Chain A
Amino acid sequence: MEQVSFAIATIIVGVFGCVSYFYLTNIALDVIFPGRGPNAGRNINRASAIRPWLFLGPAILLLGIYLVYPVFNSIWLSFHDASGSKFIGFDNYVWLVGDKKFLESMRNNMLWLIVVPAASTFFGLVAAALTDRISWGNFAKSLIFMPMAISFIGASVIWKFIYDYRGDGSAEVGALNAMVLAFGGTAKAWITLDIWNNFLLMVVLIWIQTGFAMVILSAALRGIPEETIEAAVIDGAAPFQIFYKIKIPQIWGTIAVVWTTITILVLKVFDIVLAMTNGQWESQVLANLMFDWMFRGNDAGRASTIALVIMVLVTPIMIWNIRNARRELR
């Protein structure tokens, strides 16, 4: 109970502190540069030059400490040894390129990068197209969207139960093995099968992300101008032709946004692998490898180097996003 009251106290202090910071600095600014008297004009100009920075101050400070500083500190750490005290040049990078687990993680991450965004976008598009045409569409959408609210670790429990394997003659209670048995196959410990286990883990993320893709693509599909579809109908296009030749080309921009958003998420995927296999049986990924070196390996240098690889992989998307945002601003 103690930390609950501590939490409540912090909210009150934090919120009160924030509000009074903004309120008091504003008053202080008005007192220092009063908007009347002999220098009124000059004062108003000065005050309005400073005021934005008062509003932005806490945000810039927090962003600086929590996101900008770590980028540079990580680069610095990647050139140092495990404890971060001795400069060792490119040793970490050299180690990385030759490390078997790293190469395995890169291979798996590439698989994830291809399969998960593609499958999520595809299923999302199918779900959007289907649910937009039925009377109970909103209800169906909520149910497909629901996994978004479930934690990765909760989702891992749900799917691990499906992949469960008992063996030695006892009843198979995992849905996958039960299905395999029903079709005359033999039950297996699927999660330990090299390469294939990667796809089983990907299913979890696809299951979660399809709802996201569906919601956004559904909005985009509904935003398509009616006239283009009417024209196609009059010209005698079949429903599938309308979908593939008229609708899809008009929402390429949104598909790209969905694709890149999921791509970024995939690069950071960690909880699912940690919970399901912890990187055993050749299923390691970069984020979990980094976590491994940070906690079990206790090597800040190597862990930072792996984190930087993830950063480098997201950089193209970052640049693309910034360019899009700037175009929008103009």
Chain B
Amino acid sequence: MDNIAGTRSRLVWAVNLSALALVLIWIIPTFGLLVSSFRDRDQITASGWWKALFPSEQNVIVRSAAPDTQRLDGDLYVIEGNVFAGGPGEVIAFGTSSREPTVYAPGETGVMSNGREMTVSAAGDYRITSPEQFTRSRGIRIFITSIKPPKFTLENYERVTFAEGLGRSFLNTFSVTIPATVIPILVAAFAAYALAWMEFPGRALLIALIVGLLVVPLQLALIPLLKLHNDVGIGKDYLGIWLAHTGFGLPLAIYLLRNYIAGLPREIIESARVDGATDFQIFRRIVLPLSFPALASFAIFQFLWVWNDLLVATVFLGNNEEQLVMTGRLRELLGSRGGDWEILAASAFVSIVVPLVVFFAMQKYLVRGLLAGSVKGG
């Protein structure tokens, strides 16, 4: 028996560890970008995000104070200052030219042309001397390799929200999402009730049609609808995109709601009919309140789908300040600021945060909707 108990507990360990490994693999990508979004710009390019908690080594070029701060010390002209401008940091090497940026150790004296000399201490204090007066208007370049302590900042978020226009896009996305979520629910709820509880010829055919429309690729609809919208005059307009999202969301809405409403107990609806309630009353007083879970499921689907959509927004909305949604802005930033990870990371998280909150708050309904949508009869 010992043996069996032993394998059992080893199996439990193996399962726990594999689950942990899987979860880690799944969250590390997001986590990495999240950490990066709080890091200083120079540090992101100097070391990987997994080293964010450790001091990082970076090569930078600093300019000394401008020559008009020079003073005469004996027969030498001197410029002095600190490469970290008083901030924390440690110089581990420096140089006077781009050909040899790390040739001197801190404290040594580097020789430059025209008899000039430069020395940088480990704390970053520099002293540049010259037998003749410094004449150029800009400071002297100092090449340093330094160790900087980790630095976390909210600057990236501040910058993307205001300077990069993400704040505006945030509002635009909201204006697209809320109506595009609310309107299809109403239209679909009535249709679903009719398909579930009313008798009329062609009902089965309609249900089959809706199941078929569930998988019609969006791509097919873009060109004809853009032409149609342009002809009607809502080509690049909020009204157009609301209607488009409503149309594209309807098959799933009707399908989910019909399945749910058809599963309500027959007795309730029959007895209401016997009591003389009209279909409209039954729908409003009985069916609608009872179907709340299904309505919530669909609302979350549609919300996430519209919020995260890029294709429909690109086609049916313009590219200007008033209409660019967050996904569109993110795509634009990927093109124009390809390597600026501090901007991209912060922007990505601004756009992700709302769906994530909705997701974690309403996960129960989302799962229920998924199960109703695909497992039924499977």
Q: Give bound CA distance, A318 to B208, whole Å.
A: 10
Across the interface, name the chain B residue whose C-beta is closest to A84: B227
Q: Is A229 an interface residue (CB 8 A)?
A: no
Query: Chain A, 51-76, contact with B by CB distance < 8 Å: what is the 0/1 string?
Result: 11101101110110111111101100
Q: Give bound CA distance, A118 to B305, whole Å.
A: 24
Across the interface, name the chain B residue whose C-beta is closest to A326: B208
Q: Is A226 an interface residue (CB 8 A)?
A: no
Contact B334 A18 (CB under 8 A): no
Q: Is A116 an interface residue (CB 8 A)?
A: no
Contact B223 A300 (CB under 8 A): yes
Query: Chain A, 1-31, contact with B by CB distance < 8 Å: what is the 0/1 string?
Result: 1011011001100110011001100100010
Which of A23, A147, A172 meets B280, CB within 8 Å? A23
Task: Point out the residues of chain A lying under 8 angstroms from B251, CB to CB.
Answer: 63, 67
Which of A7, A19, A157 meets B344, CB within 8 Å? A157
Contact A215 B30 (CB under 8 A): no
B229 shortest CB reach to chain A, Å? 10
Task: Point out the residues of chain B lying under 8 angstroms from A4, CB to CB.
Answer: 171, 174-175
Q: Give bound CA distance, A254 to B377, whole Å.
A: 9
Contacts known (A4-B171, A65-B247); A144 close to B29, Cβ less than 8 A: no
B376 shortest CB reach to chain A, Å? 7
Contact B32 A149 (CB under 8 A): no
Contact A150 B204 (CB under 8 A): no
Task: Point out the residues of chain B lying under 8 angstroms from A14, CB to CB.
Answer: 179, 182-183, 242
Task: Point out the residues of chain A lying under 8 angstroms from B348, CB to CB.
Answer: 154, 157-158
A216 shortest CB reach to chain B, Å? 6
Which of A156, A303, A318 meets B212, CB within 8 Å? A318
Q: Give bound CA distance, A261 to B206, whole Å.
A: 21
Across the interface, name the chain B residue whose C-beta is closest to A30: B278
Which of A239, A258, A307 meets B220, CB within 8 Å? A307
Q: Is B140 an interface residue (CB 8 A)?
A: no
Q: Is B178 an interface residue (CB 8 A)?
A: yes
Contacts known (A3-B175, A56-B206, A175-B32); A311 close to B217, Cβ less than 8 A: yes
Q: Give bound CA distance, A264 to B219, whole Å.
A: 12
Q: Give bound CA distance, A287 to B309, whole Å.
A: 14
Q: Is B78 an interface residue (CB 8 A)?
A: no
- A: contact size bracket: 35 or more
Contacts known (A4-B174, A257-B375); A70 close to B187, Cβ less than 8 A: no
Q: Give bound CA distance, A166 to B48, whole Å.
A: 12
Contact A322 B374 (CB under 8 A): no
Contact residues of A between 248 and 262, Cβ < 8 Å to B: 253-254, 256-258, 261
Q: Give bound CA distance, A147 to B186, whole Å.
A: 29
Task: Point out the residues of chain A lying under 8 angstroms from B15, CB to CB.
Answer: 130, 133-134
Which of A69, A254, A311 meets B375, CB within 8 Å? A254
Q: Give bound CA distance, A272 to B45, whole Å.
A: 24
Contacts known (A151-B351, A154-B348, A216-B370); A294 close to B223, Cβ less than 8 A: yes
B310 shortest CB reach to chain A, Å? 5
Query: Chain A, 287-306, contact with B by CB distance < 8 Å: what is the 0/1 string?
Result: 10011001000001001101
Q: Is B84 an interface residue (CB 8 A)?
A: no
Contact A267 B217 (CB under 8 A): yes
Q: Is B228 an interface residue (CB 8 A)?
A: yes
Query: Chain B, 231-252, contact with A by CB distance < 8 Å: what is the 0/1 string?
Result: 0000000110011101110110
Q: Give bound CA distance, A317 to B358, whole Å.
A: 31
Contact A51 B198 (CB under 8 A): yes
Q: Is B66 an interface residue (CB 8 A)?
A: no
Contact B219 A268 (CB under 8 A): yes
B169 shortest CB reach to chain A, Å? 12
Task: Point out the residues of chain A lying under 8 angstroms from B345, CB to CB.
Answer: 157, 161
Contact B378 A257 (CB under 8 A): yes
Contact B344 A161 (CB under 8 A): yes
Task: Point out the residues of chain B lying under 8 angstroms from A264, CB to CB.
Answer: 215
Task: Point out the residues of chain A lying under 8 angstroms from B210, CB to CB.
Answer: 63
**Most B-side CB within 10 Å, residue of A74, A173, A275, A328:** A173
Q: Is B111 an interface residue (CB 8 A)?
A: no
Count chain B residues whose beta carbon lies closer than 8 angstroms to a beta carbon of A.
115
Contact A160 B334 (CB under 8 A): yes
Task: Point out the residues of chain A lying under 8 angstroms from B376, CB to CB.
Answer: 328
Contact B219 A158 (CB under 8 A): no
Task: Point out the residues of chain B lying under 8 angstroms from A134, CB to CB.
Answer: 15-16, 19
B201 shortest CB reach to chain A, Å? 9
Q: Is B279 an interface residue (CB 8 A)?
A: yes
Q: Is B62 an interface residue (CB 8 A)?
A: no
B149 shortest CB reach to chain A, Å? 17
Which of B46, B208, B223 meets A74, CB within 8 Å? B223
Query: Chain B, 306-344, contact with A by CB distance < 8 Å: what is the 0/1 string?
Result: 011111000100000010000100110010000001001
A45 shortest CB reach to chain B, Å? 11
Task: Point out the residues of chain A lying under 8 angstroms from B310, CB to CB.
Answer: 151-153, 270-271, 274
Task: Point out the residues of chain A lying under 8 angstroms from B11, CB to CB.
Answer: 239
Contact A219 B371 (CB under 8 A): yes
A56 shortest CB reach to chain B, Å? 5
Contact residues of A between 136 and 174, Cβ < 8 Å to B: 137, 140, 142-154, 156-162, 164, 166, 170-174
Q: Give bound CA distance, A326 to B12, whole Å.
A: 44
Contact A207 B238 (CB under 8 A): no
Contact A65 B30 (CB under 8 A): no
Across the interface, name the chain A residue whose C-beta is closest to B203: A52
B293 shortest CB reach to chain A, Å? 15
Task: Point out the residues of chain B lying under 8 angstroms from A270, CB to CB.
Answer: 219, 310-311
Binding site for A on B (CB under 8 A): 11-12, 15-16, 18-19, 22-23, 26-30, 32-33, 36, 44-50, 171-172, 174-175, 178-179, 182-183, 186-188, 190-191, 193-195, 198-200, 203-204, 206-225, 227-228, 238-239, 242-244, 246-248, 250-251, 254, 278-280, 283, 304, 307-311, 315, 322, 327, 330-331, 334, 341, 344-345, 347-348, 351-352, 355-356, 358-360, 363, 366-367, 370-371, 374-378
List 7 A-B residue pairs with CB atoms under 8 Å apart, sorted by A's residue number.
A1-B171, A59-B254, A70-B220, A140-B19, A174-B48, A254-B374, A307-B219
